[in-house]
A and B are shown apart, each in its own frame.
Chain A
């Protein structure tokens, strides 16, 4: 089975840049989606197909994917960005969706 690895937590000061990574074998060959989940709420899609942004998502959110690592970058972090962030890919070998374990973003 395909495994996506995320650091459990990331902390940044307001206004700084947060980088949340998602590791997977040859992940650059897959399309990566990113979801934001705040406590008690359903997930929200923030980045899809590696770097596309849904309407309504601030330009501060961006994504990239290269080699064995995909990265969600949040520029000018705000207190409201505190949440868990999950990466996701479709593993065609088994016709399964796979989620990373999630990264908790804390704004100091």
Chain B
């Protein structure tokens, strides 16, 4: 069955860096676009970034562009989100998700989420 298992996250100081990972199994990872969505405490869902199946195309939300990098290693069936120069308002649960089909299609499977806390 499709599984997305997240790791990483934790406490990071403002201005610091952190990487969140997402290990995929149960499907052909290299055939699917992937995305990251975050949720600040008590708030709604916010799209963060998306990457194409081959990794050659990435799109970012305006709120994170220039500070966040989405990447993938299809040989390792893994997705990554690198957060640099983090701010307090980056504090959130970060979810990875699989897009159902190539392109702008819905997220049909989600990871369990990982908490990133930015605090001095």
**Chain A interfacial positions (CB closer than 8 Å to B):** 1, 31, 33, 35, 37, 42-45, 48-49, 54, 84, 86, 88, 90, 92, 95-102
Contact = CB atoms under 8 A, between A and B. Distances in A.
Nearest to B100: A48
B55 interface: no
Interface residues of B, number: 21
Interface in B48-63: 50, 59, 61-62
B32 to A, nearest CB: 14
B111 A45 contact: no
A45 B107 contact: yes
Given A33-B106, A49-B106, A92-B104, A43 B44 contact: no
A42 B36 CA distance: 12
